[in-house]
Amino acid sequence: MEGCSKATNKKANMKTSLSLFVVLSGMILPSELLACRVELNGEDRTEEFFVSDEATGEKYVDCVGKSRCREAVITDCPVVKCGMGEACNKARIVNFTGEILCEGAHSCHRTEIIAAPSSSSDDDEDRPPKNISCEGAGACDYAQISGDTLGRVTCSGTNACRKARIAGPKVVRCHNGSENSKACEGLATFETECLYCGELGCGDHVNQCRYKLLGGNAKPIEYQAYKTCEAEALHGNCPAELEEEFRFELSGREQIDVAEIEEGTRRYLRR
């Protein structure tokens, strides 16, 4: 009888400890960390892909590697890092709460990315903005990106956001393309408060790059006609710091052009 009593007490203590662990985990970890899920080929692979940065302790979904998260379904996660060729090709990243990094050729090609909406329990002013970075050739080619809580979407590189549809962010920034393949072209379509067309950033025909403006005095989106992205220009209600970035980018380009002309003149005179 005594042995049975000890076994029963031991089980009860284990249940109490487990319950306490669950409660403490909920208190220590933000809800998005507990909810994060990565599904690949119909299997739950969260434990494998949701890791911690050794240096900072930051939790993120590790999709760094060629086709590593191809066609994955990633939901309710804070940060997703898609690096190298087609790392997150055709993936669905839904309700992300922090940042998406698409770095490398076609890293987020044909990827659907949806930012988590705000809720009544959120103090959005105290929470970091939900940003997306598309860095590299065709990084977000054909991507579908949306969410009214998006901060900045950056498209940097040749065809970085070619044929992409991006709706909801405060800022879309297109730059660092090439003469023949701008960062945002091929009917790239934006609905944003501010469109930044930097150096080699935007195609200059409506069938290459088009936009509608959100917020401010803009008409409701359904009553607006698409406008053509003007090359090397700011469109919409852009923050002051972005205007400064824009001036610095173009002035830096002009300084390089002058330096190249001067060097060419010196070579000619030395002949």
pLDDT, position 47? 96
Region 36-58 average pLDDT: 95
DSSP string, 49-107: HEEE-TTT--EEEEEESTTTTTT-EEES-SEEEEESTTTTTT-EEEEE-SEEEEESTTT
Q: How confident is the model at residue 18 (pLDDT cuts 50, 70, 90)?
A: very low
The proportion of the chain whose per-residue pLDDT surpasses 90, expressed as a percent, equals 68
User: Do the domain assignments include residue 155?
Assistant: yes
CB 231 within 8 A of CB 208: no
User: Do the domain assignments include residue 182?
Assistant: yes
User: Do the domain assignments include residue 270?
Assistant: no
Model confidence pLDDT, tens digit, residues 90-113: 999 999 999 999 999 999 999 999
pLDDT top residue among 34 and 125: 34
pLDDT top residue among 36 and 258: 36
Number of domains in the chain: 1
In which domain, by residue range, is 193 found?
A: 29-239
User: Do the domain assignments include residue 120?
Assistant: yes
User: Do the domain assignments include residue 210?
Assistant: yes
pLDDT, position 28? 40
pLDDT, position 24? 38
* Helix locations, the chain, DSSP H: 2-28, 31-35, 46-49, 240-270
User: Do the domain assignments include residue 95?
Assistant: yes
User: Do the domain assignments include residue 258?
Assistant: no
User: Do the domain assignments include residue 209?
Assistant: yes
Q: How confident is the model at residue 208 (pLDDT cuts 50, 70, 90)?
A: very high
